[in-house]
Amino acid sequence: MTDAAAVRVPQPMLAIRDLHAWYGESHVLHGIDLEVPTGQVVTLLGRNGAGKSTTLKSIMGIVPRRRGSICLQGTETIGLRPYHIARHGVAFCPEDRGIYATLDVKEHLELPTRVDDRGLSTAEALDLFPNLRERLHSPGTKLSGGEQQMLAIARILRTGAPLLLLDEPTEGLAPSIVEQIGDIIQQLKAQGYTILLVEQNLRFAMDVADQFYLIDHGQVAAHYDRDGIERDVDALLARLGV
């Protein structure tokens, strides 16, 4: 056996190959290829309608029709139902945050099913988001936008999933709250979580992410590491129309 054969390449947390997705007759993803290494933060960038959210929803199995390969920790999930996919260690925080008027903060945190023993207790989730402790009995929709986003993230941490999919967590939030969300993402990364983030705010993404995929018309148009994105930032801002 050669030395090269003995080298073990770590398995990525998520590997997507030739992913296609459809809404009815509308073919939206056209062969996405991407990898999310364990422990990294990876961002999907792109204009509105490029296919970023559909990529996250495809990983969760909640688009009507998909084709290709989506491996989670080495397991092919393309043929699985959403509740089975979740059990392979992935949790989704949707763009609309999914916060209910009829449940208070505590009830939102008690809602998720644990998929892994690493799931935070309600008390641990509240340690990470102290603002929420003060709002424990407030109905979800009485919270500010920033508090709702924090609750949506705290809720998925209860599951114990090591891979978090966050869809535009900073959308519509004030700069000071955006900063707090950035700190939380850094803390989660330091704790070993792997994060796939959809983000319109390039500057925010550049502060938190290790790798970046530019999605355009349902395909990967470019892939950057941190140095590459610094070099291309002006061209990229023009391309994103921001």
Ligand X SMILES: Nc1ncnc2c1ncn2[C@@H]1O[C@H](COP(=O)(O)OP(=O)(O)OP(=O)(O)O)[C@@H](O)[C@H]1O
147 or 168: whose CB is closer to ligand X? 168
Region near ligand X per CB under 6 A, out of 8-16, 49-57, 148-156, 177-185:
49-57
In 3D space, the residue among 66, 82, 83, 85 whose CA is nearest the CA of residue 23 turns out to be 66
DSSP symbol at 217:
T
User: Is 201 a binder of ligand X (CB under 6 A)?
Assistant: no
Alpha helices for the chain (secondary structure H): 3-6, 52-60, 82-87, 105-110, 122-128, 130-134, 145-157, 175-190, 202-208, 226-240
Among 52, 108, 135, 158, binds ligand X (CB under 6 A): 52
User: Is 28 a binder of ligand X (CB under 6 A)?
Assistant: yes
CB 129 within 8 A of CB 180: no
Site for ligand X in 129-148 (CB under 6 A): none
96 or 225: whose CB is closer to ligand X? 96
Region near ligand X per CB under 6 A, out of 1-9, 50-58, 104-112, 229-237:
50-58
CB 197 within 8 A of CB 205: yes
User: Is 54 a binder of ligand X (CB under 6 A)?
Assistant: yes
65 or 231: whose CB is closer to ligand X? 65
User: Is 48 a binder of ligand X (CB under 6 A)?
Assistant: yes
Region near ligand X per CB under 6 A, out of 34-42, 46-54, 206-214, 232-240:
46-54
User: Is 26 a binder of ligand X (CB under 6 A)?
Assistant: yes
Alpha-carbon gap, residue 206 to 141, rounded angstroms: 30
What totals of helices (H) and strands (E) does the chain contain, helices first? 10, 10
User: Is 46 a binder of ligand X (CB under 6 A)?
Assistant: yes
**Phi, psi at 204, each rounded to 5°:** -60, -45
User: Is 120 a binder of ligand X (CB under 6 A)?
Assistant: no
CA distances from 176 to 18, 109, 157, 185 (A): 39, 24, 22, 15
Chain residues binding ligand X by CB under 6 A are 23, 26, 28, 46, 48-54
